[in-house]
Amino acid sequence: MSINITDFGCLADGKKVEKYLITNSNGVSVSVVTYGATLVSINAPDKNGNVADILVGFDKLEDMVEKTDYQGVVVGPYANRIGNSAFEIDGVKYNLVPNENVTTCLHSCGEFNTAVWDAEVTGENSVSFRYVSADGINGFPGTLDVAVKYTLTDENELKLEYDAVSDKKTVINLTNHAYFNLGGYNSGSILDHLIRINADKYTPVDKISIPTGEIATVENTPFDLLKATRVGDHIDDDFEQLVFTGGYDHNFCINDYDGSMKLAAEVTDPDSGRKLEVYTDLPGIQFYAGNFLKGVEGKNNFPMNKRSGFCLETQYYPDSPNQPAFPSCVFDAGEKYHTETIFKFL
């Protein structure tokens, strides 16, 4: 086990950014930078022991600043979409800043992922990142004190622990927006990966990706991923939900949600033999198949083409602040938010 700290450059305002590299005893390594508490690399072996970086994203700070599509970042205070950029708590309406389709607030306008977080080594294999979000940024109520701790174990588990507390009653929904390609970031499409999502239900959306409020069965739809399924098998089906979003970009309702850790999803790349398991104590997981990637150049100037990476964003359901039937993401002033997600590499 080791942790190595290096400079990762400077922002235009002079703020310094550092990179923390955690390496375990199997040679698996993970690096995270203080800009956005962003995951920058995950090096993992394939079936023949060949190590590759399986995280699609950037290797340069200026690219992260200028070209991000949320690669590897921590999203908050509210991950994914809030419809009409507004919600009410106890009869008080909060108006947010829209940043998508004129009306929607997506990923909280990028607040958390463009901040420089304070970092602290918290163990031989863990680093904790902290950020305090001021009251009222983009319209969200409360001063929110947030910590995200990354731990890499010798079981090849990358554990993310999210802690937050606000001084006002507010909505909280934190995630990491890593894009994976289990063949390696430069190996092409993810359409041959096999995915299994432990969800009998999902939340359908309208034309601009806001949940309709329905919790629908996956039965007899392309969303039935209960058994390992090739990502490409149904992604382009003429099925309204997939047409609306241009491929998988939906929240799945993890079976038997009770706040304890569950295996939410697993993905295998038959070629490399690498496998990823995702565990979380949250109720939902967004399977986003990288439909909006448009060939922007990332690591080593390699283009991030459409569907060359997939995201599994553990979360409260999108637009929960406006959906009474969804698990509540409202936290009282002083109430502790704590959730965990594990990405296990096999």
- For ligand GLA, the closer of residues 19 and 177 by Cβ is 177
Q: Which residues pair with 262 in a beta bridge?
A: 280
| Shortest Cβ 161–ligand GLA spacing (Å) | 22
Q: Which of 111, 266, 277, 313 is labelled catalytic?
A: 313
Nearest partner of 26 among 159, 125, 148, judged by Cα: 125
| Shortest Cβ 337–ligand GLA spacing (Å) | 21
- Rounded Cα distance between 234 and 171, Å, is 34
Catalytic residue flag (residue 161): no
- For ligand GLA, the closer of residues 80 and 153 by Cβ is 80
- For ligand GLA, the closer of residues 80 and 320 by Cβ is 80
Q: DSSP assignment, residue 187?
A: S
Helix H, strand E, coil C: the string for 201-260 is EEECECCCCCECCCCEECCCCCCCCCCCEEHHHCCCCCCHHHHHHCCCEEEEECCCCCCC
| Shortest Cβ 68–ligand GLA spacing (Å) | 9
Q: Which of 107, 111, 177, 277 is labelled catalytic?
A: 177
Catalytic residue flag (residue 266): no
Alpha-helical segments (H) within 246-324: none
- For ligand GLA, the closer of residues 74 and 106 by Cβ is 106
| Shortest Cβ 23–ligand GLA spacing (Å) | 29
- For ligand GLA, the closer of residues 146 and 311 by Cβ is 311
Q: Give the residue nearest to ligand GLA (CB).
A: 288
- Rounded Cα distance between 108 and 116, Å, is 16
- For residue 299 the two structure tokens come to 């690591």
Query: Which residues here bind ligand GLA, judged by CB under 6 A?
Result: 69-70, 80, 106, 209, 249, 286, 288, 292, 311, 313
| Shortest Cβ 195–ligand GLA spacing (Å) | 15
Sequence-distant (≥ 6) Cβ neighbours of residue 336 within 8 angstroms: 163, 164, 165
Nearest partner of 105 among 244, 251, 246, 210, judged by Cα: 210
Most distant CA atoms of the chain, gap in Å: 59
Which sequence positions are flagged as catalytic? 177, 313
